[in-house]
Chains A and B, each alone.
Chain A
């Protein structure tokens, strides 16, 4: 394509190069494929709306997540409180939005923990191979067999229920599969010519792993990370449901569902709305993850 007439100073060759790159890079291809997947796009939009609502929403509300109104008690959804109030008269919508900050935050942060651990570990095992790989992967095999949920429960019971620990504990559970995926990919990459070229050029191992290999396994990493977020959010909600997650007066979706389940007989909206929002989020994340998997054509991330 010729450069636009309004910018004659740009040399034509530059524009041509940029154009071909934009048209044919695997990333933009994948982006287009993703755009055609209606479920994934819908899921992505919903997630965006939810995230923005959770971050911004509470600022625009007349109520705060801890404002009690005991005279009101549990009011059904209405004009004043769109989604009703809980038994202490707290606005459910604000509590859901506020809880969303924590649930989504835990989902993202714990996934980051799992991601950095798993990617580094897997890349090292795959890159060095041999005895190192044997040892590292045997450790992963063994850890797979451990009843991790039980350990997370113990950790949360014993060491106060603080959020940082929650991130770490959940992240520590979810990194194993990531490590396996990355290792497999790196093993395959290691035989490629450009890696050999980098080795011949005398680049250090660190540089080869982080600059040349990890960018090339980004596809599976992104896909698996997207699918880890819902798993992590489920685990957080699971812990909160057992009373081990976020503590009152703060709320996460797990604690809201727990509270709602206790009072659902008289006040069904207390479980219906948090449950619906949580499930919708999980739906969206899964659709986006599946869409990404198809778009990036990743086989290895399949279970």
Chain B
């Protein structure tokens, strides 16, 4: 296990390095810069600005400087927000996105697992059909349709919740539900399939024959095996929730990192774009690693390799 971890962590270093390098140069070869605004600045000011941020250096020099600072955990100053560093902006905005993502994930797991287990246990009854149709709806109605429709219903028509904002806990409800519902749908389908497959197996029959209660059979015997496809799905799901929050943050006007990232790309805020990309890549790789570890833990037949 330890060797597995070390090897996987070593593998991530070149991957992150490639991502970093590719993004760095891609951003720079793009027409336009952070200081090309509608009202043009006097050339002297432009020169001063570029000197201040080191943009007048040759590109390879800037790249090495960036790497050097990154090694110390410094993501550099933002080009658009004067006097703010990328570290500060991320520290400010990331918790919001993470909170939204975590809440969506909790909703997705709670809804999806319950629906999937119940549908499998009551196979081919109206409960199963209802759960499966709901899951299909979740998969086919995208978040950017679902979100506005929920706002239309609960905020505008019924007036129960705020249409946007991020202040009190009721403001979390609609965004997290919108974001989590799609994944709840996939998780429900995977859980149902996994449960059906496991429930047919001999060890479940043995457990039944020994008189184990239905609850014990489900939670103690079946669920562990049935969860394998769900756990494998969690890697892509978490990635989807993190990036999916870009749209949710736009719809509900939530001050998170996703919205900031899209804006920073439009603004050519080089350092902020780079910082966010590196952050997201690291997060995703770490989460995928965690998923792999959980998979082995759930299924001892798999080995760490």
**Residues of A near any B CB (own CB < 8 A):** 142, 144-147, 149-150, 153-154, 157-159, 230, 234, 237-238, 241-242, 254, 257-258, 260-261, 264-265, 268, 271, 275, 278-279, 282-283, 286, 302-303
Contact = CB atoms under 8 A, between A and B. Distances in A.
B247 A241 contact: yes
B293 interface: no
B243 A150 contact: yes
B142 A234 contact: yes
B239 interface: yes
B139 interface: yes
Counting from the closest, the 8 A-B pairs by CB-CB distance are A275-B145, A158-B30, A282-B140, A261-B148, A149-B243, A157-B265, A283-B140, A241-B144
A298 to B, nearest CB: 14
29 contacts: A146-B19, A150-B276, A153-B246, A153-B261, A153-B262, A154-B27, A154-B277, A158-B27, A238-B144, A238-B247, A241-B247, A241-B250, A242-B262, A254-B144, A257-B145, A257-B148, A261-B144, A264-B151, A264-B152, A265-B152, A271-B145, A271-B148, A275-B141, A279-B142, A279-B145, A282-B139, A282-B140, A286-B140, A303-B229
Chain B interface size, as a band, is: 35 or more
Nearest to B281: A147
Given A153-B265, A257-B145, A159 B30 contact: yes
Contact of A275 (B149, B246, B277, B285): B149
DSSP class of A's interface residues: helix, strand, loop or mixed?
helix
A283 B19 CA distance: 36
Given A154-B265, A242-B246, 4 more contacts: A150-B276, A153-B261, A237-B144, A278-B142
A232 to B, nearest CB: 13
B266 interface: yes
B71 interface: no
DSSP class of B's interface residues: helix, strand, loop or mixed?
helix
Contacts of B250: 241-242
Contacts of B27: 154, 158
Nearest to A290: B136
Given A158-B26, A279-B140, A268 B152 contact: yes
Nearest to B267: A157
A265 B15 contact: no
Contacts of A283: 136, 140
Contacts of A271: 145, 148-149, 152
B166 interface: no
Interface in B127-152: 136, 139-142, 144-145, 147-149, 151-152
B140 A157 contact: no
B273 interface: yes
Q: Which of A158, A257, A268, A286 counts the most B-chain CB atoms under 10 A from its CB?
A: A158
Contacts of A278: 142, 145
Interface string B277-292: 1001100110010000
B26 A147 contact: no
A145 B19 CA distance: 11
Nearest to A147: B280
A25 to B, nearest CB: 30
B89 interface: no
Contacts of A282: 139-142
Nearest to B15: A142
A303 B265 contact: no
Contacts of A264: 148, 151-152, 156
Contacts of A238: 142, 144, 247
Interface string B249-273: 0110000000001100110000001
B10 to A, nearest CB: 13
A159 B26 CA distance: 10
A146 B281 contact: yes
A150 B229 contact: no
Given A154-B265, A271-B148, A275-B149, A147 B243 contact: yes
